[in-house]
């Protein structure tokens, strides 16, 4: 399947370019397909390619020494990943895994440098993409003052218990994130941490509070 | 009847991203509209909610205390 010019035009990097310029870039773009749950980038490895998601979604994440995962971003069609090491020459700062079957458009590091030299007007859009990423990561750093978020999530769970009197309000992770003033990704990790501490059990669409006292103790922790 | 994710059809633009990430095939595009297929295999991974660019899918949790 040929790389679509229309799709290239929809990518912020290339949105200001004309058809002739897009055509010259298209020659440097290669396709890569991957199935569900394939690791397409590994943290710490040298970075060879910049990727754009053409279809599907990719999860960008860091893994701790204990194997805990923190999602940094979910990359959707039209968005890019692995930009930073392509431009600073360092290793991949995070890993990336497909969330389903994906089609990626890749550009080799050297080719991307040539594209920037040949089409310097792209630079402003690259800066916009990187600035957006910095803003997102700064916000995540703020959220990851972690114990504090866990205690806020614990409090939200406690305040929304449904019981014999009827069902409490059902909450999505997005709603919990909005209530806790944090990112959805951080709520997901907080729930897993609460489960590891034995305070709750995740049972499909139910969050079962298995140790009310433990949950209360976590609620009272502030940092 | 198994609880399933909820789709707000007013917000859904039929992009199908949720279908591509659903590992239990509980989502399908029918006439450009995302349709839920009830299945007990849905393990509430919430990936469909996470990827939805328009916020049309929700996977709400019920919070209960374990009966002793």
Domain ranges of chain B: 6-58
CA dihedral over A111, A112, A114, A118, signed as positive or negative: positive
Q: Taking CB atoms and an 8 Å cutoff, what residues of chain B touch A172?
A: 46, 49, 58-61
Taking the CA of residue B27 and the nearest CA in chain A, the distance in Å comes to 13
Topology given in CATH for the domain delimited by A5-137: Jelly Rolls (2.60.120)
Domain ranges of chain A: 5-137, 146-220
Pick A56's closest partner by Cβ from B20, B64, B66.
B20
3-class DSSP string for chain A: CCCCHHHHHHCHHHCCCCHHHHHHHHCCEEEEEECCCCEEECCCCECCEEEEEEECCEEEEEECCCCCEEEEEEECCCCEECHHHHHHCCECCCEEEECCCEEEEEEEHHHHHHHHHHCCCHHHHHHHHHHHHHHHHHHHHHHCCHHHHHHHHHHHHHHCCEECCECCCCECHHHHHHHHCCCHHHHHHHHHHHHHCCCEEEECCEEEECCHHHHHHHHHCCC
Give me the residue label for tokens 């309000």. Answer: A169
Residue A164, pLDDT score: 54
- Interface-testing mutation among A60, A72, A74, A100, with chain B (most B C-beta atoms within 10 A): A100
Residue A84, pLDDT score: 94
Residues A101, A35 contacting (CB under 8 angstroms)? yes
**CATH for A146-220, among 1.10.10.10, 3.10.20.30, 3.30.300.30, 3.30.565.10?**
1.10.10.10
Q: Taking CB atoms and an 8 Å cutoff, what residues of chain A touch B22?
A: 100
Q: Residue A155 contacts by C-beta under 8 Å, 6 or more apart in sequence? A: A219
- Interface-testing mutation among B58, B63, B67, B68, with chain A (most A C-beta atoms within 10 A): B63
Is the pLDDT score of A115 beyond 90?
Answer: yes
State how far the Cα of B30 lies from the Cα of A129, in Å rounded to an integer: 34
**pLDDT more than 70, % of chain A:** 95
| Cβ–Cβ gap A57/B20 under 8 Å | yes
Is the pLDDT score of A172 beyond 60?
Answer: yes
Is the pLDDT score of A65 beyond 70?
Answer: yes
Taking the CA of residue B10 and the nearest CA in chain A, the distance in Å comes to 18
Degrees, nearest 5: CA angle B28-B33-B36: 40
CATH architecture of the region B6-58: 2-Layer Sandwich (3.30)
Q: Taking CB atoms and an 8 Å cutoff, what residues of chain B touch A168?
A: 62-64
Is the pLDDT score of A71 beyond 90?
Answer: no
A89-104 confidence digits (pLDDT tens)? 999 999 999 988 999 9
């Amino acid at each position: 399947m040929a790389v679509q010019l229309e799709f290239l035009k929809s990518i912020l990097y290339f949105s200001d370019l004309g058809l002739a310029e897009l055509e010259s870039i298209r020659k440097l773009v290669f396709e890569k397909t991957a199935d569900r749950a394939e690791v397409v980038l590994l943290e710490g490895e040298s970075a060879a390619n910049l990727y754009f998601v053409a279809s599907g979604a990719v999860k960008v994440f860091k893994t701790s020494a204990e194997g805990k995962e923190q999602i940094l971003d979910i990359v959707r069609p039209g968005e890019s990943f692995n930009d930073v090491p392509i431009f600073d020459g360092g290793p991949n700062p995070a890993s990336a895994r497909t969330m389903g079957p994906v089609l990626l458009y890749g550009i080799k590091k050297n080719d991307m440098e040539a594209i920037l030299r040949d089409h310097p007007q792209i630079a402003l859009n690259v800066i916009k993409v990187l600035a957006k990423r910095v803003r997102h990561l700064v916000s995540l750093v703020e959220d990851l003052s972690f114990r504090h978020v866990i205690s806020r999530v614990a409090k939200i769970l406690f305040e929304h218990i449904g019981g014999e009197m009827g069902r409490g309000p059902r909450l999505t992770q997005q709603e919990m994130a909005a209530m806790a003033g944090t990112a959805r990704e951080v709520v997901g990790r907080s729930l897993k941490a609460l489960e590891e501490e034995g305070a709750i059990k995740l049972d499909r669409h139910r969050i079962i509070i298995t140790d009310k006292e433990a949950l209360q103790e976590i609620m009272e922790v502030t940092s | 009847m198994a609880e399933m994710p909820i789709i707000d059809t007013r917000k859904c633009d039929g992009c199908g991203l949720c279908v591509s990430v659903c590992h239990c095939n509980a989502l399908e595009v029918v006439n450009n509209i995302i349709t839920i297929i009830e299945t007990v295999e849905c393990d509430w991974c919430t990936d469909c909610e996470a990827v939805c660019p328009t916020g049309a899918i929700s996977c709400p949790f019920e919070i209960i205390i374990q009966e002793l």
